[in-house]
Amino acid sequence: MSRLRYREARLPLDENPLSLMARLVRSGLFDQYVVYENGSSWSFAGGALASVRLGREAKDLRDMGDLQDLRGVEDRLAAVPVKDWRAYGWATFELATALAGAAVDAGGDLLHLVIPAGEVRAEGDTVLVRAVDVEQYDRLVALVGASVPADGDTGGAAGGDERISLALDDHGNYRAAVAAALVELRAGGPLEKVILSRQVPVLVPVDLTATYVAGRRGNTPARSFLLDLGGIRAAGFSPETVVEVSGGRRVTTRPLAGTRARTGSSAQIARLRAELLSDPKEIYEHAISVKLACEELAAVCEDTQVTEYMTVQDRGTVQHLASAVTGLLREGQSPWQAFAALFPAVTATGIPKAPAYPVIRALEGRPRGLYAGAVLTCDATGTLDAALVLRSIFQQDERCWLQAGAGIVQQSQPEREHEETCEKLRSIADHLVPTVPRQVPPTSS
């Protein structure tokens, strides 16, 4: 089988990569796209030469083969007739239910990956432009070449400095859910921790691209993303990765658990940081999360070790206790087995994970979808990078909402856990840019 080859050009980067990504999205060249920021590397993936999708229907699950370690996904990607491919996409939280062998609610995809028709990667002072189609290639080269000075672009924020104001309190509903979770945690069963989330509806039309630009400038994420793919639109500022796999088979996961606000004066932030590092509840919550991450990684890796332990990471409006766990993939294991072992992130589910799922579903009352799932990239060289979907805004089926959660353990207090969700929500709520209606010029009489 002949393999498709990308046309490629490497051009100078003459602007802020965030602004470049916004311009590419606003160009309308592709009807679906993923923007993904990984450290100093920014990628725009538009259109689809090929796709790998995993539905919720029983037939789709059977056709994927051995679902529990996602070898079927790996096999489908390996068969893609594209040279030097890189895939972009997402996995919903409910993929975890399928990985656990339990029944999955019907409707929608669990996993959606595309090999893009056009791709732009900005890193350092250069931009790699790739496309198979000649016309799309020329358009992308022209878009990148028409760059603006690094300090001369606003990111296309249609609403300028205007922001949407949201009320973040839910009038006691979340506190009641936390109280119900505490009954489960104190009942003597296996469950030690469960992460409960809540949604905040956004009823004003949102300019998602402008919100991404404004939010990225106001946050300090581990990864960020902006996407319109498979019926889901989202922008997010992920505080942590689910898994990072290098081409050298090194695997890393970076659990964050334990939170305090990062607002107010420098003295207030420092006081809250000291409180975070000494709070028994936060330390316990973090320690058991790291322990489970070690156990999950050891299932597919050798030489597993904690390389960083209980440092503090700043993530926008909050600060977290953070650790890093690494290992080397065993022979016969692949990046997708590492993803399957670690997904969903321990910091967004519970400990143990299996008994946490029914508690989450019962108390939250609806599927999570992309929230607490992953936005990810992987490529033909064996690298895989999956960002945990938190601190995000979602648009789907005429709905728009924010979502945030907190880790509940026996020592939790409902009021404090509600406060924590508000602290996290502000990292995105403070940057919502409204869609400005187009001004129609008056007609002459």
Q: Known catalytic residues?
A: 240
Q: Is 328 helix (H, G, I), strand (E, B) or coil?
A: strand
Tokens, residue 33: 């796209």
Cα–Cα distance measured from residue 153 to residue 19, given in angstroms and rounded to the nearest whole number: 7
Tokens, residue 443: 């007609």
Cα–Cα distance measured from residue 76 to residue 58, given in angstroms and rounded to the nearest whole number: 18
- The kind and range of the H/E element at 23 are helix 17-26
- Residue 48: HSE in the Cβ half-sphere, 13 Å Cα cutoff: 17
Q: Are 405 and 378 in contact (CB under 8 A)?
A: no
Cα–Cα distance measured from residue 183 to residue 92, given in angstroms and rounded to the nearest whole number: 28
Taking the CB of residue 81, how many other CB atoms lie within 10 A of it? 12
Cα–Cα distance measured from residue 420 to residue 404, given in angstroms and rounded to the nearest whole number: 9
Can you say whether the dihedral through the CA atoms of 98, 69, 223, 10 is positive or negative?
Answer: negative
Beta-bridged to residue 197, according to DSSP, are 405
Q: Give the closest residue to 152 by CA, choosing from 11, 13, 12, 15.
A: 15
Q: Give the closest residue to 122 by CA, choosing from 245, 36, 216.
A: 36
- The kind and range of the H/E element at 244 are strand 241-245
- Residue 93: HSE in the Cβ half-sphere, 13 Å Cα cutoff: 25
Task: Kindly compute the dihedral angle of the four CA atoms of residues 72, 325, 222, 78, in this order, to the nearest 10 degrees.
Answer: -20
Q: Is 280 helix (H, G, I), strand (E, B) or coil?
A: helix
Cα–Cα distance measured from residue 155 to residue 160, given in angstroms and rounded to the nearest whole number: 10
Residue 434 preceded by cis peptide, ω within 30 = no
Amino acid at 214: A
Beta-bridged to residue 351, according to DSSP, are 193
Tokens, residue 100: 């656990």
Amino acid at 369: G
Q: Give the closest residue to 362 by CA, choosing from 188, 118, 180.
A: 180
CB neighbour list of residue 87: distance below 8 Å, 6 or more residues apart = 52, 77, 80, 113, 114, 115, 377, 378, 379
